Amino acid sequence: MTIERYDVAVLGLGGMGSAALYHLAKQGASVCGIERFGMAHDLGSSHGASRVIRKAYWEHPDYIPLLNRAYDLWRDLEQTSDVTLFEQSGLVVSGPQDSPVIQGLDRCYAEHDLPHDRVTAEEAERRYADFRFPAGHTVYIDPEAGYLHVERGVEQHITEAQNAGARVLIHEDALSWQTDGDGITIKTAHREIHAGTLVICAGAWAREILAEINIPLTIRRKVQTWFRPTANQESAATLPTFFFDMGWGAIYGFPALDDLGIKMAEHHGGENIEDPDELQRTVTRDDTEPVQRLASEVLPRFELRQSHVSVCMYTMTPDEHFIIDRHPNNENVIVAAGFSGHGYKFAPVVGESLAQLALHAKTDHPIGFLGIDRPALKNATS
């Protein structure tokens, strides 16, 4: 069997792996990307037509510098590929004042000078007549937010990586990897690959691939649901992205991008699963009950009817922050995992960080709080 040699190999070409491949190739590295499934496939986490992008980050203020860079890189990729990836539709976030989301936004806006409006539910309803805001809710309006075309982003990162010289292996499963003196040897069913550095971006499959170091990752089944408006169809296409913390559920959604209509999903909850290859893709009534409820309570004027469903996965860390770091037992392996349901918007800056770590052993980006040895992960493992 012929051995193929590269500076870097990237395992997994979803949201993060495709971006890493692109930034490695862009920096002149000899790089190979290995993807078990198809390009921009619908079996993992990076599918479903749209993902929210926002600078107002209630999860942790330390994400803001990464978001600023991600915004720039998404726009750069659009210009390079001449394809629209980012729609700046704005974002409306509604919740009780004591909710973690509103409290987190209070902190975020106190620490970072970001454009926003903070209004009452009554004022929000005057601005956005299509919504019914629960009485007493605080509403934040983020004009810089919007949504990303998710599959399109994966496709363009891979396409531009290939244009820069990257080798892409689609429908090829990595059977094993191991240290090999001055690098890593990866075996597939068709070839043996030697790379100086291996970047692992395996999504929900990372837990199995990294089992030896026992990273505490939980795989969560999530359902995305589309609703076709039977009234006010034109208005449905001009909605902002939205997030409602209702107490009984935290639901996010998007304007109608096509005939499928308005897409919504519940951010919290979901069934934990053991094997991503055994993900239950049949959707039940219980799966869609929270978004059906939001449709009737918050968007009644559209008279929404369910039109489509899709199942994906969140790969969760205990503190719901990402892991971007070097493998603790192998300096030639870099790990990106546990994006916990809010990672896709960061894909280009994660890819740039991984490329810098692989080629220069350090990155310009402030990712220290995402290290693999942080207490939240070590305590969960122990």
Residues 162 and 300 in one domain: no
Residues 300 and 239 in one domain: yes
Widest CA span in the chain: 69
Q: How many domains does the chain have?
A: 2
Within-domain flag for 276: yes
pLDDT of residue 380: 81
Residues 244 and 346 in one domain: no
Residues 291 and 225 in one domain: yes
Classify the C-alpha dihedral 364-32-332-372 as positive or negative: positive
Residue 328 has pLDDT above 70, yes or no: yes
Within-domain flag for 56: no
Mean pLDDT of 107-135: 96
pLDDT of residue 61: 83
Last residue of a domain, one of 316, 336, 362: 316
Last residue of a domain, one of 294, 316, 338: 316
Residues in Cβ contact with 39 at an 8 Å cutoff, skipping those fewer than 6 apart: 13, 154, 155, 158, 168, 170
Last residue of a domain, one of 275, 299, 316: 316
In this structure, are residues 344 and 51 in contact, taking their beta carbons and an 8 Å threshold? Answer: yes
Cα–chain center distance at 128:
27
Q: Please write the tens of the pLDDT for every residue from 268-289.
A: 999 999 999 999 999 999 999 9
For 16, 359, 360, the CA distances from 333, given in Å and listed in that order, are 15, 12, 13
pLDDT of residue 95: 98
Residue 60 has pLDDT above 80, yes or no: yes
Residues 205 and 339 in one domain: yes
Residues 231 and 116 in one domain: yes
pLDDT of residue 271: 95
In this structure, are residues 223 and 311 in contact, taking their beta carbons and an 8 Å threshold? Answer: yes
Cα–chain center distance at 148:
10
Angstrom distance (rounded) from CA 252 to CA 257: 15
pLDDT band at 261 (very low <50, low <70, confident <90, very high): very high
Within-domain flag for 248: yes
Residues 123 and 166 in one domain: no
Q: Please write the tens of the pLDDT for every residue from 153-207.
A: 999 999 999 999 999 999 999 999 999 888 999 999 899 999 999 999 999 999 9
Within-domain flag for 38: yes
Q: Who wins on pLDDT, 151 or 212?
A: 151
Within-domain flag for 190: yes
Residues 134 and 209 in one domain: no
The enclosing domain of 123 has a CATH number of 3.30.9.10
In this structure, are residues 321 and 369 in contact, taking their beta carbons and an 8 Å threshold? Answer: yes
Within-domain flag for 9: yes
Residues 333 and 288 in one domain: no
Residues 22 and 171 in one domain: yes
Residues in Cβ contact with 140 at an 8 Å cutoff, skipping those fewer than 6 apart: 56, 92, 93, 102, 105, 109, 116, 117, 118
Angstrom distance (rounded) from CA 14 to CA 22: 12
Within-domain flag for 70: no
Mean pLDDT over all residues of the chain? Answer: 96
Residues 183 and 238 in one domain: no
pLDDT band at 41 (very low <50, low <70, confident <90, very high): very high
Residues 307 and 356 in one domain: no
Give the range of the structural domain holding residue 99, as residue numbers without chain letter: 91-143+218-316
Within-domain flag for 366: yes
